[in-house]
């Protein structure tokens, strides 16, 4: 499994991206193994992250959102914290497509999660590191938009 993870990361690092169907085909065996036993459940989220990274880096925004939703759902099933990954990808895409209204809406809908993350992160920073990094990707554009609106 780690060989496939390394291959996928290497391809993306080289700027080699695949169509959605081609990448899915490349990962068929990985997918089959990840869902074959409960002990491999950690690879399920990784499977979606590989597909997400390929779609995201190749500018396939709809597919990127689809896969972030899959990652988020799988993380909830597995009990992993990374609930902001979906929102951070959406915020980035909304920014690229000049949808400030959607960025603010996304931030405001999730304000309570930031406070909760602050409390959890303060107690256990290692456990909530990645979730906090994802949260920064939401806070940054929201703060910038609020600032721009105040100064214009």
Looking at the 3D structure of the chain, how many domains does it have?
Answer: 2
Task: Specify whether 73 is located in the same domain as 90.
Answer: no
CA distances, 6 to each of 11, 32, 96, 104 (Å): 9, 18, 29, 36
Task: Specify whether 33 is located in the same domain as 105.
Answer: no
Task: Specify whether 90 is located in the same domain as 70.
Answer: no
Task: Specify whether 148 is located in the same domain as 107.
Answer: yes
Q: Residue 40 belongs to what domain range?
A: 1-80
**Cα–Cα distance, 48 to 52 (Å, whole number):** 6
Q: Is 31:43 a contact under the CB 8 Å cutoff?
A: no
End-to-end CA distance of the chain: 51
Task: Specify whether 43 is located in the same domain as 17.
Answer: yes
- What mean pLDDT comes out for the span 21-31? 95
- What mean pLDDT comes out for the span 40-66? 94
Q: Is 95 exposed, middle or buried (0-12, 13-18, 19+ CB in 10 A)?
A: middle
pLDDT value, residue 87:
87
Please say which residue of 27, 56, 80 terminates a domain.
Answer: 80
Closest Cα to residue 52, out of 83, 85, 80?
85
Task: Specify whether 69 is located in the same domain as 117.
Answer: no
Task: Specify whether 62 is located in the same domain as 107.
Answer: no
Please say which residue of 21, 48, 80 terminates a domain.
Answer: 80
Report pTM: 0.79
pLDDT value, residue 9:
87
Q: Is 17 exposed, middle or buried (0-12, 13-18, 19+ CB in 10 A)?
A: middle
3 compared with 103, residue with greater pLDDT: 103
pLDDT value, residue 81:
67
Q: What is the pLDDT of residues 99-140, one digit of tens each?
A: 999 999 999 998 888 889 989 999 999 988 988 888 888 899
pLDDT value, residue 99:
93
Please say which residue of 56, 80, 104 terminates a domain.
Answer: 80
Whether residue 20 is predicted with pLDDT greater than 90 in this model: the reply is yes
Task: Specify whether 124 is located in the same domain as 95.
Answer: yes
**Cα–Cα distance, 152 to 149 (Å, whole number):** 5
Task: Specify whether 88 is located in the same domain as 75.
Answer: no
Task: Specify whether 87 is located in the same domain as 121.
Answer: yes
Question: Can you tell me which residue has the tokens 């036993």?
Answer: 37
Highest-confidence range of 30-34, 41-45, 147-151, by mean pLDDT? Answer: 30-34
């Amino acid at each position: 499994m780690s060989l496939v993870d390394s291959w996928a990361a290497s391809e993306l690092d080289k700027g080699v991206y695949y169509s959605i169907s081609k990448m899915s085909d490349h990962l068929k065996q990985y997918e089959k193994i990840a869902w074959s036993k409960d002990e491999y459940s950690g690879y399920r989220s990784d499977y979606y992250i590989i597909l997400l990274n390929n779609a995201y880096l190749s500018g396939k925004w709809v597919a990127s959102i689809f896969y972030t939703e899959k990652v988020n759902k799988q993380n909830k099933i597995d009990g992993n914290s990374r609930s902001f990954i979906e929102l951070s990808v959406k915020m980035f895409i909304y920014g690229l497509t000049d949808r400030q209204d959607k960025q603010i809406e996304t931030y405001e809908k999730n304000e309570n999660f930031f406070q909760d993350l602050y409390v959890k992160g303060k107690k256990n920073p290692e456990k909530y590191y990645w979730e906090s990094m994802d949260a920064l990707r939401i806070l940054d554009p929201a703060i910038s938009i609020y600032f721009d609106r105040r100064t214009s």
